[in-house]
Amino acid sequence: MHQVYTAIFEPGFFASAQVHVAVTIGTAVAVVCAVTGVFTVMRGQSFAGHALGDVAAAGGSGALLAGLSPVTGFVGLDVVGAAVMDLIGVQRVRSRDLATGVVLGAAIGLSALFLYLTSVTGATTGAVQQVLFGSIFTTTSSTIPDAIILGGIAVVALAVVCRPLLLSTVSPDIAVARGVPVRLVSVLYMLALAVSVGLSSLATGAILSTALLIGPAAAALRLTKRVAWAMGVACLIGVLAVLLGVLLAYDSYYWGSSHDGLPVSFFIVSVVFITYLASGLPALRAGRRSERPAEQAAAAEHDKVAA
């Protein structure tokens, strides 16, 4: 029994201060991303989330260059990026991809510049690796309050506008007719998205930051039929992915003989991905029973219209 236990939890896991910081920040980030991500997936704005990940990469590398804390760079530039995307017109379906693409391109360009300058000024490749692919084990505990306060603000903002946001997600026309300030609500949501992606960059790195945003929410949407439940399930999946990811990455120090740990981000993203694939199974099974009649009904309706 003890052997099984030590095989799962390698020595020092629970005592490690790095693990404590990683678990605290990872859990906070997973919760914030789950709540935001459900709206992101429902609104079909995964691409915007991804672009903000690239903006975070530019922010993180800029912060590295300027000697600021990574969270300042990630969240700071993401908020600017979200504002620019909104100005270009991310709220209109037709210019959505355009706004996202323009900002994404600019962000990658900035990253290229900052990372080049960083390498010239002699920072280690490890620092660059951390910005892009995650640094949750090297994050200092002083980041915890920042992460929790910023994440808290995003979640509270979403809680305040949740009903108008939901209504304008379902139908902007109905929302406008009901007197909802659709534009303002959309801006608030974009800012919450920016903060979520920025924080997520802390856990999984800027490049992988949408993994915790999109994956758990997308899986949850398949598994539940109520928004609040979807958020709960997404939180569970996200937190589970972070905890498993941290544990596996910690354990990986003891795998093989080289005593090099594998990246946490890899494990987190893998768990999220596998969960997403598994979330399709119930629908697949139900589909065998129900999909065919639905298709026939749709075909029959089509025939009627044609006739």
Partner 1 sequence: MTGETLAGTAPAEILSVDGVSVSLSGRQILDEVSFGVGAGEFTGLIGPNGAGKTTLLRVILGLQRPTAGQVAVLGRPRSLRHQPVGYVPQKVLLDPDMPMRARDLVALGLDGNRYGLRLPSRQRGQAVSEMLHAVDAERFAGARVGNLSGGEQQRVLIAQALISRPRLLLLDEPLANLDLRSGQEIIGLLARIAREQQIAVLLSAHEMNPLLPVMDRIVYLAGGRAASGTTAEVVTSEVLSRLYGYHVEVLHVHGRVLVVAGAAGHEPALAPGAAAEGG
Positions that interact with partner 1 (CB under 8 A): 38, 41-42, 159-164, 166-167, 170-171, 173-180, 220-222, 224-227, 229-230, 294, 297, 301, 304-305
Check the CA dihedral 90-166-294-305 and report its sign.
negative
Shorter beta-carbon distance to partner 1: residue 107 or 219: 219
Nearest to 181 by CA among 285, 91, 274, 98: 91
Q: Tell the residue number behind the tokens 């305040």, with chain if given.
A: 160
> Closest approach of Cβ 281 to partner 1, in Å?
16
Residue 126's Cβ-count burial label (10 Å; 0-12, 13-18, 19+) is exposed
Shorter beta-carbon distance to partner 1: residue 17 or 306: 306
> Closest approach of Cβ 304 to partner 1, in Å?
4
Shorter beta-carbon distance to partner 1: residue 66 or 184: 184
Helices and strands, counts by H and E, the chain:
12, 0
> Closest approach of Cβ 240 to partner 1, in Å?
19
Shorter beta-carbon distance to partner 1: residue 147 or 175: 175
> Closest approach of Cβ 187 to partner 1, in Å?
15
Write the DSSP symbol of residue 255: S
Shorter beta-carbon distance to partner 1: residue 117 or 176: 176
Nearest to 136 by CA among 248, 11, 49: 248
The one-letter code for the residue type at 43 is: R
> Closest approach of Cβ 45 to partner 1, in Å?
13
Shorter beta-carbon distance to partner 1: residue 109 or 287: 287
> Closest approach of Cβ 301 to partner 1, in Å?
5
Nearest to 206 by CA among 31, 81, 36: 81
Residue 207's Cβ-count burial label (10 Å; 0-12, 13-18, 19+) is buried
